[in-house]
Amino acid sequence: MFKNNPIKLIKYYNLINHNLIYNNKAINRYKKDNFEISESKTKNLDLLRRAILNQKNCDLKKYAKNIVFSDGNPKSKIMLVGEAPGASEDQEGLPFVGRAGVLLDKMLAAIKLDRKKVYISNIINYRPPENRRPTDSEIEQYLPFITKHIEIIEPKILVLLGSTAMNAIIGKDLVISKMRGKWINKKFGNCRTSVIITFHPAFLMRQPAQKKMAWIDLKMIRDKKESLKI
């Protein structure tokens, strides 16, 4: 019915209270690691995951092994968004578990964060073949999903990793070297958040000289976290 409009589908499910119809209780897929979250957040994350899984017109899905939805703590007030899964992520069904993920974990550790303290997702939920960059139309197709994902998580700090995430969420013609290291206030539904753009860890592996700029951004995140008391 709403096959081309996942957000309408989610609203529709909410409207008909599908949980009462299909099951008595939402399955809490996010309970692992004791991340007890509210039933409505669990339900909305589950609906979103299902809306992505149920897409009919997505070529990426045909080649991918797994959906890569998220990792980390859904209760966290800090959300990170990357570009798209690579081979390791596709294999494991989790974001940032390959080489870029190792560097991301080190970047987080440098400001005393880890995956249990943040929530991580990507603009695109399926691996593009040969790890190519997602096309404009793929980004357009997945943008409503990541936007809804942010709305559900309600982060106070949103970290966009790399230019694909920046161009998708903040603006198409922006250049990362000019945009990184600045706070941008943005609203996603009812969620008001402070957005910061920084370099993608895969880029930093290719251009290690830029790590000093990423360190400036990481310190800004650490300071914001302290000033917001999160």
Min dist. Cβ of residue 3 to ligand URA (A): 26
The two structure tokens encoding residue 202: 């895969």
Task: Decide if 215 contacts 110 (C-beta within 8 A).
Answer: yes
Please provide residue 156's backbone torsions phi and psi, each rounded to the nearest 5 degrees: -90, -25
Distances in Å between the Cα of 59 and the Cα atoms of 65, 127, 141, 146 are: 12, 10, 11, 18
Distance CA 106, CA 117 (A): 14
* Choice between 6 and 134, CB closer to ligand URA: 134
Residue at shortest CB range from ligand URA: 82
Min dist. Cβ of residue 81 to ligand URA (A): 8
Run of H or E including 225: helix 211-227
* Choice between 28 and 88, CB closer to ligand URA: 88
Min dist. Cβ of residue 38 to ligand URA (A): 26
Residue with tokens 């080190």: 106
The two structure tokens encoding residue 228: 């917001």
Q: Please name which of 118, 96, 115 lies closest in space to residue 200, comparing C-alpha atoms.
A: 96
Q: Please name which of 150, 221, 222, 220 lies closest in space to residue 186, comparing C-alpha atoms.
A: 150
Min dist. Cβ of residue 99 to ligand URA (A): 8
> What is the β-pairing status of strands 119-122 and 183-188?
unpaired
* Choice between 87 and 228, CB closer to ligand URA: 87
Min dist. Cβ of residue 164 to ligand URA (A): 7
* Choice between 89 and 151, CB closer to ligand URA: 89
* Choice between 89 and 154, CB closer to ligand URA: 89
Q: Please name which of 120, 94, 90 lies closest in space to residue 107, comparing C-alpha atoms.
A: 120
Min dist. Cβ of residue 97 to ligand URA (A): 7
* Choice between 89 and 217, CB closer to ligand URA: 89
Binding site for ligand URA (CB under 6 A): 82-86, 89, 95-96, 98, 100, 122, 202
